[in-house]
Amino acid sequence: MKQLLLIAAVLILYLLHQDFWFWRTANPIAFGFLPIGLFYHVCYTLAISVLMWALVKFAWPAKLEQQAEQSTAESSVSNHTPSSGVTK
C-alpha cells in the first residue's frame, strides 16, 4: 500500500511539473514581489524535496545498504592485512 502511494505521488508531481497554466502571465504577484510562476516552482520544489525524503525513508532497498556495508567491511579487512614482502 505504501509503495502504491509513493508511486502515485511521483506520478502526480511529475504531471504537476508541466505548469503550462502560468506561462503567459506574471500576475498575480505572491507576497508583493514574486511572480506566480516562480512561487509555484518554489512550492513544487518543496513538495519534491518532501517526496524524495519519503522515497529514501520508506522505499530505499535495504539490500543495497547490506551490500555497501559488506564491501566496506571487506575492503577495510584487506587494507589491514600485513604484506609478505617486507624489505629491510
Domain boundaries along the sequence of the chain: 2-61
Q: Are 34 and 76 in contact (CB under 8 A)?
A: no
pLDDT digits (tens, 9 = 90+) for 52-81: 999 999 988 878 777 878 888 777 766 665
* Alpha-helical runs (H) found in 1-88: 2-17, 36-59, 62-79
Instruction: Look at the pTM and tell me if it is higher than 0.75.
Output: no
Distance of alpha carbon 58 from the chain centroid: 12
State how far the alpha carbon of 86 is from the alpha carbons of 79, 80, 82, 83, in Å: 16, 15, 9, 7
